[in-house]
Structure 1
Amino acid sequence: MAAEPPDSMGQRMQACATCHGKEGRATNSGYFPRIAGKPAGYLYNQLINFRDGRRQNATMAYLLDHMSDQYLMEIAKHFASLDLPYPPAQTTKAPAATLARGEQLVRHGDASLGVPACASCHGAAMTGVAPAMPGLLGLPHDYLLGQLGAWRTGMRRASLPDCMGEITRRLSPQDVVAVATWLSSQPVKRGLPVGSLPAQPTMECGSGFR
């Protein structure tokens, strides 16, 4: 008789691999994010949001429907603990002007639009900030576009003040493309979040909590 598989979180989370890839590393489909190594607080908040309907995804809602807050935190901590290699950057040979605009917005923002740098909340290395601010590197271009678009149209929302919604509405569609293009073109040597930001973010934001 075949031995029963071990009852571990890694074994229980095999169902997640269908969309998020082996060990949560993502696949090359372009529409699902890497979840391995993301801050536990961020992953937990998103699981709660999917379960309770604040984020819309029928498959996620179905999978999480009867899970307790405690078990969702166990799932979040499991994936957050995975320090795994990243694949090469997905986006290559993008137009230089697009990359330059994307890097400007990510690293410095645009004062004329009232848009702070992405790095001011997500960290200078763009790998996230514990306990609940996600990294933005190592994500597929199409996924980044989809999420920025969802913030922009209100399909994705955060606890007030919803700074991501406000920021994305100040950006042009071309700027959104530039940000997604630059982020998805950057290699990731080590993607774990940092422990804190060197200074207070320049914009009050509830996104790190929900």
Structure 2
Amino acid sequence: MRHVILIAATTASFGLAHGAGGQGANVLLNCTSCHTLAPDIPKRELSQTPPAPYPNLNGQSARYLERQLHAYRTGLRQHPQMQATATALGDGAAAMARMYSDAPAPDLVFRENDDTHAAAQRLVYEGDWSRGLPSCNSCHARDPDDRARLSPRLHGHPASYLTRQLTAYAEGTRQSGTMGRMRAFASKLTEQEISEIAAYYAAWREDTGPLSEAPTSQPQKEDSDG
């Protein structure tokens, strides 16, 4: 069934590209040029590949992905290329979301020393209730099992991308969070904390060999958009 969905979604995306204006649309709708999808890359090659500047969408919730494409189309998220892509996808957004959701999620491991990210880990796994900040992990679990969730996996995303998104939430230029929760939380973080949290999540990378012990404290997740 998974392969059928992947083939159908890919066919739909190519059909939309052809109908949206030829070569320009084909390039615009080639989501896998930035956001992975899943060829089986040997670990030897993964270890030699520098981290991508874009988020890997494989295994993310279809509901979350479709919601974000809608946010780009309606201006709740700002990014010229993504807004154009989401608009060009049109009714194909759901198929594209399912295609990524059905792709195998990356096999991530923590590749740095825990002490390097101690402050970030406290916020990620414990939060700071003195400021009304729940733990990030209460929504953004590394291995969520609910395909209908609205909260994405953040582990393995590039630090630069996460820094931009948290800053956009804090400044109110990204408004795709459920009931304004992400804006409320991000606005309470300092620039340094945003940078540290982003660096911590980026330290989770594809499993290519020996690595450090990963944190074990992982509270139950809740449903949120991020």
TM-score interval, smaller chain: 0.7 to 0.9
Q: What CA distance in whole angstroms lies between the structure 2 residues aligned with 1:100 and 1:84?
A: 26
Tell me the residue number matched to 2:139: 121
Q: What CA distance in whole angstroms lies between the structure 2 residues aligned with 1:10 and 1:180?
A: 31
Over 3 Å counting, the alpha-carbon distance change for 1:24 and 1:143 in structure 2 is farther
Tell me the residue number matched to 1:74: 95
TM-superposed CA distance for 1:148, in Å, is 0.8
List per-residue Cα deviations over 1:22-50 (Å, max 9, x = no partner): 5499x856532111110000000011111
Counterpart pick for 1:138 among 156, 160, 178 = 156
Counterpart pick for 1:149 among 167, 174, 191 = 167
2:58 aligned with 1:36: yes
- Does the 8 Å contact 1:50/1:64 carry over to 2? yes
Tell me the residue number matched to 2:22: none
Gaps of 5+ in 2: 1-6, 15-28, 41-48, 208-218
Paired residue secondary structure (1:54)? coil
Gaps of 5+ in 1: 1-6, 190-196
2:9 aligned with 1:9: yes
Tell me the residue number matched to 2:3: none
- Does the 8 Å contact 1:24/1:36 carry over to 2? no
Tell me the residue number matched to 1:194: none
Tell me the residue number matched to 1:59: 81
TM-superposed CA distance for 1:172, in Å, is 1.2
Counterpart pick for 2:35 among 13, 20, 30 = 20
List per-residue Cα deviations over 1:167-197 (Å, max 9, x = no partner): 11111111111211211113466xxxxxxx9
Tell me the residue number matched to 1:175: 193
Q: What CA distance in whole angstroms lies between the structure 2 residues aligned with 1:102 and 1:65?
A: 36
TM-superposed CA distance for 1:62, in Å, is 1.8
TM-superposed CA distance for 1:9, in Å, is 3.1
RMSD: 3.2
Comparing 166-175 with 39-48, greater Cα deviation is found at 166-175
Q: TM-score, normalization: structure 2?
A: 0.69
Paired residue secondary structure (1:133)? coil
Q: What CA distance in whole angstroms lies between the structure 2 residues aligned with 1:116 and 1:122?
A: 11
- Does the 8 Å contact 1:128/1:135 carry over to 2? no
Over 3 Å counting, the alpha-carbon distance change for 1:40 and 1:48 in structure 2 is same
Over 3 Å counting, the alpha-carbon distance change for 1:179 and 1:44 in structure 2 is same
TM-superposed CA distance for 1:158, in Å, is 2.7
More helix by share: 2
Over 3 Å counting, the alpha-carbon distance change for 1:155 and 1:56 in structure 2 is same
Letter in 1 for 2:71: N
Letter in 2 for 1:144: L
Tell me the residue number matched to 2:44: none
Over 3 Å counting, the alpha-carbon distance change for 1:86 and 1:160 in structure 2 is closer
Q: TM-score, normalization: structure 1?
A: 0.73
Q: What CA distance in whole angstroms lies between the structure 1 residues aligned with 2:198 and 2:206?
A: 15
- Does the 8 Å contact 1:36/1:81 carry over to 2? yes
